[in-house]
Amino acid sequence: MVEDELALFDKSLNEFWNKFKSTVSDTSCQMVGLRDAYKDSIKAFAEKLSVKLKEEERMVEMFLEYQNQICRQNKLIQEKKENLLKLIAEVKDKKQEVETLTANIQDLKEEYARKKETISTANKANEERLKRLQKSADLYKDRLGLEIRKIYGDKLQFIFTDIDPKHPDRPFMFSLCLNEARDYEVSDSAPHLECLAEFQENVRQTNNFSAFLANVRKAFTALVYN
């Protein structure tokens, strides 16, 4: 009886052990399979993650390069803008210079026209005065033995004769011209007359040229008799 029970217990124990080993073996195989599957999944995930990271790195690099290109383009645009503003400023300055130069040229033209008119008026006045002098010269030549010649520098040379009784042809002379102020200017008297400056001042004030010539002739005559 006891042996039978022991045999039955031993049988039951063996069956339990066999089942336990089988279960453990199956579980171990399942664990190994799960572990390998997990490793494969991790490896595949790592590979996908690596690819994704590389793609993202390329995207970041492309984005940074794009940003750099934009920065360079913005810099070029700013430089071109500054150059354009500088060019516009230079054009404005040149335009202002041209306007100023044009105004100066216009002023010079107007001033030239005024001076030309003044010179023309003065020349006409001089021509009239020279005509009067020439007319007077013809008269004085006959009455006073006076000859008038035009010499260098638009000067007139007045030559008196018939002053020295001993030498009627002996010349007594002086030169006369109109200065920049359009006044009479007397010089080069031969023989020299100390009073010539006084006569010059009188004729400037009175404009009485006939009296001036008469006084000069009297002064030359006084030199002969003195």
pLDDT score at 20: 65
How far apart are alpha carbons 118 and 141 in whole angstroms?
Answer: 33
4 pLDDT exceeds 70?
A: no
38 pLDDT exceeds 70?
A: no
pLDDT band at 76 (very low <50, low <70, confident <90, very high): confident
Please give the structure tokens belonging to residue 59.
């995207």
Say what the pTM is.
0.41
What DSSP character marks residue 84? H
Other Cβ atoms within 10 Å of 157 Cβ, number: 16
Scan for tokens 């045999």, then name that residue. Answer: 7
**What is the secondary structure of 98-120 as a DSSP string?**
HHHHHHHHHHHHHHHHHHHHHHH
Most confident option among 14-18, 25-29, 107-111: 107-111
Q: Which three-class secondary structure state does DSSP give residue 167?
A: strand
For 118-140, the pLDDT digits (tens) are 888 877 877 787 777 677 667 76
pLDDT band at 34 (very low <50, low <70, confident <90, very high): low
55 pLDDT exceeds 90?
A: no
Please give the structure tokens belonging to residue 91.
């054009």
Scan for tokens 């210079």, then name that residue. Answer: 97
